[in-house]
């Protein structure tokens, strides 16, 4: 059986809308997960931060402004 690669995945990005982005940011940090993009406001009306899951998939948490 072929083993899974530990390389960063470029195929899947997960996006979750949350009600308390700052709270989720704090929670993810407290779990020791590396944040890859700090909280940013985007011109299309959301705030977002990004981290990677254990398989290397990008995970975005967003909150509507």
Return the beta strands (E) in 1-65 as ranges: 13-17, 35-42, 46-52, 58-64
15-to-1, 4, 5, 59, 62 alpha-carbon distances in Å:
31, 23, 23, 6, 7
What is the structure's pLDDT at 11?
Answer: 76
**What domains are defined for the chain?**
13-64 (3.30.720.110)
What is the structure's pLDDT at 12?
Answer: 87
For the chain, 65 residues long, give each residue's pLDDT as a single digit of tens: 444 455 555 678 999 999 999 999 999 999 999 999 999 999 999 999 999 988 888 999 999 99
């Amino acid at each position: 059986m072929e083993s899974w690669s530990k390389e960063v995945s470029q195929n899947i990005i997960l996006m979750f809308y949350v009600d308390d982005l700052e709270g989720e940011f704090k929670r993810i940090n407290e779990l020791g997960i590396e944040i890859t993009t700090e909280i940013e406001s985007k011109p299309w009306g959301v705030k977002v931060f990004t981290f990677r899951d254990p398989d290397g998939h990008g995970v975005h948490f967003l909150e509507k402004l």
